[in-house]
Amino acid sequence: MQKHNDEHRVQRFIATCRQHKLKVTPQRVAIYRALIRSDQHPTADIMFQAVQREFPSISFDTVNRTLLTFAGLGVVDVVEVFGGPKRFDPNVDDHHHMHCMACGQIIDFHHASYARLEVPAEIARSFHVLSKRVVLKGLCAACALET
């Protein structure tokens, strides 16, 4: 099921690239595949290490630039981070994040009442809101045990 879903996402990704006249190269597809396989909201560096196994001659710069290009097309998201390098999210559908401030993991979650959050009237007047995300900061269970 997961595999089927991944294929669907890759096909959608390829269609979006073509729409934007971005050449669909094996490297770009490999970068996207590695990103959707990860549920870690990885950095460009982690992505580089993953893709390098398949494409030993690829450079960090290429991976980093490719991820930023994907973000520009809206096929991936750049995660809100509190210091540290950019992190990327292959899930561009509405969801919320729990950040562990100790180990840095970011957990995706859904919550019905967050999904219904209203945009305050004064914001709605001056901003065209494209997405809403609730970000929770704290400690994951493992890190909470250590403190």
The residues binding Zn ion (CB under 5 A) are 89, 91, 100, 102-103, 108, 140, 143
> Measured between alpha carbons, how far is 14 from 48 in angstroms, rounded to an integer?
20
Beta bridge partners of 108: 97
Closest distance of CB 24 from Zn ion, Å: 24
Closest distance of CB 19 from Zn ion, Å: 24
Q: Which is nearer to Zn ion, 73 or 124 (CB)?
A: 73
Token pair for residue 120?
């305050």
Q: Which is nearer to Zn ion, 69 or 91 (CB)?
A: 91
Angstrom CA distances, 123 to 56, 92, 120, stand at 48, 22, 5
Closest distance of CB 54 from Zn ion, Å: 24
